[in-house]
Amino acid sequence: MTHRHVALPASAETYQLGEGPVWDAARERLLWVDIVAGTVLAGRLDPAAGTVEVTGRHTFDETVGAVAVAAAGDLVVAERAVVTRLDVTGERTELARVLPAGVGSRLNDGAVDPAGRFLVGSLAQDARRGGEVLVRLDDDRCVVLDRDLYLSNGLAWSPGGDRFYSIDTDPGTVWVRDYDPATGAVGRRQESFTVADGSPDGMCVDASGNLWIAVWGRGRVECRTPAGRVLATVEVAAPHTSSVAFAGPDLDLLVITTARQDLTREDLAEHPDSGRLFTARVGARGLALPYWVPPAVPAASS
C-alpha cells in the first residue's frame, strides 16, 4: 500500500531555484539556497504551523549550489566553481577550487558525510553530456569519486553511515556504494534503482533507512526503499520539486524546496505557489545531520 500525503506552502517568499534544505539543530534554524540568485538563506521554522520565516541571507556573485553548517555555526558554501567558508563573522575564505576556470559547468547539490567531510557534484550549463564530477573535500584537497556523471544531484547516507546514495538526474539513476566514514573509502558504485517518471533531484534518508526523493517536473516527493519500491508519495502544488530534508526539534517535518525556473507563464498561473518552501507531516522521522568539520588551521611558524 502506498501512503499519500499533501504538502502545504510554508514560505511567504518564492525562489527561482530553491534547493538544498538543511536543518541546523544547534541553532534551531533552517538553511537553504536559491541557486540562480546566488543566495544562502536562513529561516525560523514554526513546527506547529509548518511555516518558515526568513531571518537572514548571504548573497554571492554567481550561483550557489549548496550549503552546509559546522557545529560552531560557520557555513560551507558551494559557489559556481569553488567551495567557500563563510564564518559567523561574515568573513569568506575560499577552501578549494573544484571546477577549472573556463569549464561550462557549475557546482550543484552537496552534503556532509558522517565524519563531517563535504561532498559536492557538478552539472553542465552547456550542451556537453557526461563528464561531470562528484568530489569530496578532505581538508582542502578534492578527492574525485565520480567523473562520468550527467547531472550530479542528491547525496545521502544510510542510518549506519556505511551505505552512500547519490543521484544522477538525467538518466534517473540512484547509485549506491559501500562507504567507510572513518577513512572515506568507497566501494564499487552500483545502480540501486531508476526513477522512470520524472527527474530525481534532491534526496534525504529517514531513520528507517528509506529514501525521500524530490521528483523534478512531477510536483511530488517519493519515499522509496533502498531497492526502489515506492512506499509513499507527497503531492506538492509546484511542478518543480527540487529537494527535501527532515526538520524541527523532532525531525518529523518534511521540508520541500521548489522552483519557478523553466516554468511558462501558463504554468505559473496554474501553480502560483511554485518557488515556495513546502512542508508535510509524513509519519516518518529523519536522521540528525552531521555537522561539517572545517579544515584544520595550520599552526603558525615560530
User: CA dist 112 to 19, 157, 232, Å?
Assistant: 15, 9, 26
Q: Tell me the sheet residues that pair with 44.
A: 53
Plot region of 216 (φ>0 → left; ψ -120 to 50 → alpha; else → beta)? beta
> Amino acid identity of 181?
P
Residue 86 cell numbers, joined: 563563510
| 201 tagged catalytic | yes
Residue 19 cell numbers, joined: 534547493
The Cα–Cα gap between 171 and 230 comes to 19
Instruction: Tell me which of 109, 168, 201, 273 is the catalytic residue.
Output: 201
Active site residues: 201
